[in-house]
Structure 1
């Protein structure tokens, strides 16, 4: 790690380095025989353009496999609107090579660069551009390495031969709004499914999704700072409205085409597809309310499907990375909520018990399954925020993560494993390469060293044992400084764990603490990592459970830390922005100021798959949507509130902030709105990200009278 700009302040350095991710190795893959490690990394902490690299486990030598600067001959990248949208869905802020896919041997890597198709020979070292009808998206080599498939902005699914002999369409849209081989908006944003086609193990055919967004309503996002610009048309499936119609087709390279048939009326969400040599293709399809889901196998001769497992849950089913999948010998691997715990199941039995809360499956081998898990809810000795790496094999389940790691993950191929670990007492993530379990190399990181050191104190708060991290100013002296104004800094919602045993995740909270606050990050009910019951306690009640837990954590921690409960502020972004505004509106007795970034203010304006999972369908439960909306609460505001929103945000659209602001104005309630022209939900722009931190501190100090 390096520090390249000694004149930086923390806000400037954090913004410039995309929160210290630039220059860090990422997106690891390992060849199935373990012969090479593949990853992305830029040349330095201030350079956002990723190169493709390989590492030889036998020697530890790293080699550049593809350099975007050389491939574009020093030219700039040109991204299509579809590629920009795809990166927004995946929260991708870097440049250069941002993704790649390997063939079955791990010998070739395909990637898109400036909408063009490239293939890197990872053995011989050459990189070639292949013929392609771009701008293209998501190129993936066939397992046999003979072809590369890709989608393009015209909605086509195409293939190009890796010998450069030709390029042709496999499927083309029959109407406007139809795409082949691409994940629709809701799959990318909420299902964590960012792909729309899957190769057969023999490379002779593909499963391809056809998405028709004709049923989806259209919204128009304008750029008020440039009134001559035509508003962008967005197909946005708001709660209670129509989703894209998704079907699945088996397409042969010989031109054959067979529709895969399942009960899509009852199970419209195609959430997962898996196709490996261990068995027939697997589908995971969910009902719209997500309380019922089916695991199905596909007959590749007829397209017929057979229900392998049907699961029901009285609240909802979550989706998990890496499953469903087959083991090489044909056993089904899945994650299931049963008996109050989240289990890993291999074949017909659960291999984990209540002692673990399984999070994701990372690799499925011939004899073992690699997965991550946190401690089960019954383990009162567990440290808050710790995620371990485990292996399930013939001898049972054992933990693989090193003892000094707060979080651990891994990628594996053959006997080679890339072990990724982080802890609260050291910056960044360490990537170690192991062969047969023994360390052979450490992958260099070019990320910059943060200008400050985070000092989280991890603890549980209150009767519900809410996981928390507490930050005091660097050099704080109790006798000299006394009780401190408090800043609650939550996300607080589903899929948003903030209390994690990793250093860089807490840098911004520590910076706010160093401005004179005691900062509290509390992961209340609804956040991941504890138990199914903990995560599902927010069903039909965002506003109650999540806000109550912030209040309870604050009051419990005040008995042990120097918290001045007469000066309490709250800040957050996205769901955290909703929670911050909610706190100011409904609990002014506790919270004295709030900064609300990109908040959802009316859940009828947010998307189907996410919102209906937690709050139900708005036509069936209108009272739930009313109870969790902020708009009707506008007359209650009597605390300083700053609302920040990017006007180009197509995830939480700016209408959320504008409607709340209009209601506050109608009620005669003073408030501050900070509109960010041209900014999306990610806020990747350096000056915007830097100055947002500075403006928030100034606002909060003025509001609490501590300026």
Structure 2
């Protein structure tokens, strides 16, 4: 489909303004050079490997898929299933080189392309294909790059060297679905520093139910299946083993029944392994030290919470002096503690511990006031003293660091800057993304007695006094904040506003970065808190913005936001007059273990909460227009969620519309988002357009 709308055409052509952005930036140990992935420009989706010399400020293309594998670009259809699914987990849809791993000096890098493995000499820009046992995934070099470990056929191999994992029917060297999607761990094998051994995850999914996918648009194609950890059911059995080529393997021993989730692992020198594990409800997180020779483990730290231990990336972290940094939440603040002593105060909401600097201070990303902003700080673990490294409203983050070199990404409503800070000064890091077509200026505020973060976007050129239908563009679920001073997230909302809507966005309780108490309000039940907060915020915004016509309120969202959109018209038709629900998890009993159980507990222990959050029983009450949209290749929120709700609505005689998207995944890649927007716009214009009376619910 060719878009006639200029914005939608530009958004699709530029990958939502992401093509041309440097990604996966890695600095050498001496901080003299960097490797990174990027395409050649704003409308080129194919990612290539580049090298950047910090002394000269020059970049060089060192691996181009078009040159080393002509006719093969790393498109999704050409990828081995393991890599395709990992890209879905990390929300990467650009073709080309999806990831790379390199030696510490970055002189050699390895990567997979369409199941083939290449080793690149980054000094000369020469790539050599390595022999592999089959379509390969996640290649990683040893310290000097002479041997590469990779996964093929569910087994861990070396090239040169052959298979190194046992042939026992398990998956070796990969991260399971729960780890990739919900726990922040995307890899499953790690080289020992001296290259003598590999730490490898062994994943047994035999107890898990299978999810099946068939493309109705292509009935000649065989269906695909994969193991899925469904709430209340079994998880994958995950173990860690030390594998030695030619030697006996050693299993690392901890109570995997009590602590089934492996959230992080890695070598600490040649004689120690550190791993982080969590219990099923994620109320206890342990940092363990393991002896690779014997497999014995000992506990270094324990973090506990009566609700759940909210993941704080970068923790737990053992410092050079042996002390352990952990997350430490109070009702009002996300903080960190050193050996149990809290270092931070309630001025700070810590979001990530990036790591130590050469002087021993810690790089942290945190909010220090308005939750719409994020800054980078240096935290002294001895005194708790803070030095703020960034300034101005926006979302500031560390993209890479080594030695005294720091690569910062600063995104504000005025644009994005990638700044390389060295001892010699500050320079811009190469970025080829498209210029954003406009600078939205959302009216940010905190509303209701709960101080909910909220925003209103008007059409550009809006004349005060002209009342507009309201479009609530919502997410509302745990783990993702919408209200932020970051430009890309407002572009699409401004497009909707320019179509004649007042676009409203609210972060209700349960979303992150306001306070732990704010986030934990959804403990053991999602729906009621989100619905109450969004309704209260709408009314408060309506009082403050008289141009919001609350008799014409539409709601749209995707994933959890799609769940909320359907929930809104089903349970509050007095407030919401039409909804577009994209990929909604309509029954959390059918969603995955690690995410769902963190907040709702086990279905067998909280049947009332799961039932209250399920939308299927609300079907007979639908009296507002509802558009359901779902990608039929969605392996995150399976399309059965939408189909079951549609079935319940049909059985109840409730009219609704379903828009199926054959071959489309949860990410809405390759222009699918923009194509869906055309359909949504027609839907909302028909249901909420000027002149339509929207007071009483229409007949279904």
Distance 1:459 1:601, change over 3 A: same
Q: Distance in 2 between matches of 1:82 and 1:227?
A: 23
**Counterpart for residue 342 of structure 1:** 334
- Aligned to 1:523, which of 507, 510, 513? 507
User: Any residues of structure 2 matched to 1:3-82 within 5 Å, and which?
Assistant: 9-77=6-74, 78-82=78-82
Instruction: Determine the structure 2 residue equivalent to 1:403.
Output: 392
1:267–1:33 distance in 2 versus 1, CA, 3 Å: same
**Equivalence map 1:189-338=2 (5 Å):** 189-277=181-269, 280-338=272-330
Say if 1:384 and 1:458, in contact at 8 Å, map to a contact too. no
Change in 2 beyond 3 A, CA 1:310/1:328: closer
* 1:464 partner SS: coil
| Residue aligning to 1:157 | 156
Q: Which range moves more in the overlay, 557-566 or 331-340? A: 331-340
Q: Please tell me whether the aligned partners of residues 103 and 143 of structure 1 are also in contact (alpha carbons under 8 angstroms).
A: yes
Residue 689 of structure 1: which of 660, 667, 673 is its match? 673
Whether 1:500 aligns to 2:484 is: yes
Is it true that 1:699 corresponds to 2:688 in the alignment?
no
Structure 1 residue 324: Cα displacement: 2.8
Structure 1 segment 366-445 matched on structure 2, within 5 A: 366=358, 367-375=360-368, 382-393=369-380, 396-403=385-392, 405-426=394-415, 429-436=416-423, 438-439=425-426, 441-445=427-431
Contact 1:601 1:657 in 2 (8 A): yes
**Partners of 1:280 and 1:323 in 2: how far apart?**
18
Residues 253-273 of structure 1: CA deviation (Å, up to 9, x unaligned): 443310000011111111121
**Is the Cα–Cα contact under 8 Å of residues 393 and 485 in structure 2 kept in the other structure?**
no
CA distance in 2, matches of 1:7, 1:659: 34
User: How many pairs were matched up?
Assistant: 683
State how far apart, in whole Å, the 1-side matches of 2:690 and 2:347 are: 46
Q: Deviations over 1:226-280 (max 9, x none)?
A: 2232221121111111111111101124433100000111111111213234983
Taking the aligned partners of 2:70 and 2:204, their CA distance within structure 1 comes to 38
Q: Offset at 1:92?
A: 0.8
The CA deviation at 1:348 is 5.4
* Residue in 1 that maps onto 2:556: 571
Aligned to 2:595: 610
Indicate the larger mover: 74-83 or 655-664: 74-83
Residue aligning to 1:169: 163
Following the alignment from structure 1 to structure 2, what is the Cα–Cα distance between the partners of residues 606 and 148? 36
Task: Describe the superposition over 1:629-678 as per-residue Cα deviations: whole angstroms up to 9, x where unpaired.
Answer: 00001111111110001111111111111111111111111111111111
1:408 counterpart SS class: strand
1:628 aligns with 2:613: yes
Partners of 1:6 and 1:511 lie apart in 2 by: 14
Could you list the runs of 5+ residues in structure 2 that have no partner in the other structure?
692-700
* Mapping 1:657-696, distance limit 5 Å: 657-686=642-671, 688-696=672-680
Provide the secondary structure at the position in 2 that maps to 1:372: strand
Does residue 458 (structure 1) correspond to residue 457 (structure 2)? The answer is no
Structure number with higher relative contact order (C-alpha < 8 Å, ≥ 6 residues apart): 1
Residue pair 1:50, 1:95 contacting (<8 A) in 2 also = yes
1:57 and 1:222 map into 2 onto residues whose CA distance is 49
Query: Equivalents in 2 of 1:588, 1:551: separation in Å?
Result: 11
Residue 147 of structure 1: aligned partner: 147
**1:189 positional shift:** 1.1
User: In angstroms, what is the RMSD of aligned CA positions?
Assistant: 2.0
**Structure 2 CA distance, aligned partners of 1:640 and 1:184?**
39
Task: State the 1:541 CA deviation.
Answer: 1.5
**Which deviates further from its counterpart, 363-372 or 19-28?**
363-372
Instruction: Give structure 1 stretches of 5+ with no counterpart.
Output: 161-165, 376-381
Structure 1 residues 27-71: Cα deviation after superposition (integer angstroms, max 9, x where no partner)? 111112111122111011111111111211111111112111111
- Cα distance in structure 2, aligned partners of 1:597 and 1:662: 16
* Contact kept? 1:390, 1:400, Cα under 8 Å: yes
Q: Secondary structure at the match of 2:105?
A: coil
CA-CA distance at 1:105 after TM superposition: 2.8
Q: Distance in 2 between matches of 1:128 and 1:326?
A: 38
Counterparts of 1:505 and 1:575, CA distance in 2: 17
Displacement, 1:142? 2.2
Measure the CA separation in 2 of the matches of 1:487 and 1:633.
Answer: 23
Of residues 500-509 and 70-79 in structure 1, the stretch that sits farther from structure 2 once superposed is 70-79
Alpha-carbon distance between aligned partners in 2 of 1:41 and 1:255, rounded to the nearest angstrom: 40
**Structure 1 residue 560 corresponds to structure 2 residue 560:** no
Whole-angstrom distance in 1 between the partners of 2:32 and 2:71: 32
Q: Secondary structure at the match of 1:333?
A: strand
Is the 8 Å Cα contact of residues 31 and 403 (structure 2) preserved in structure 1?
yes
Change (3 A) 1:654 1:275: same
Tell me the TM-score normalised to structure 1 length. 0.93
Matched with 2:432 is: 446
CA shift at 1:682, angstroms?
1.0
Residue 368 of structure 1, CA deviation: 2.1
| Residues 621 and 640 of structure 1, relative CA distance in 2, 3 Å threshold | same
> Aligned residue for 2:694?
none
Distance of 1:210 and 1:334 partners within structure 2: 27
Matched residue SS, 2:505: strand
State the distance in 1 between where 2:330 and 2:482 align: 26
8 Å CA contact retained: 2:201, 2:241: yes
What is the match of residue 163 of structure 1? Answer: none
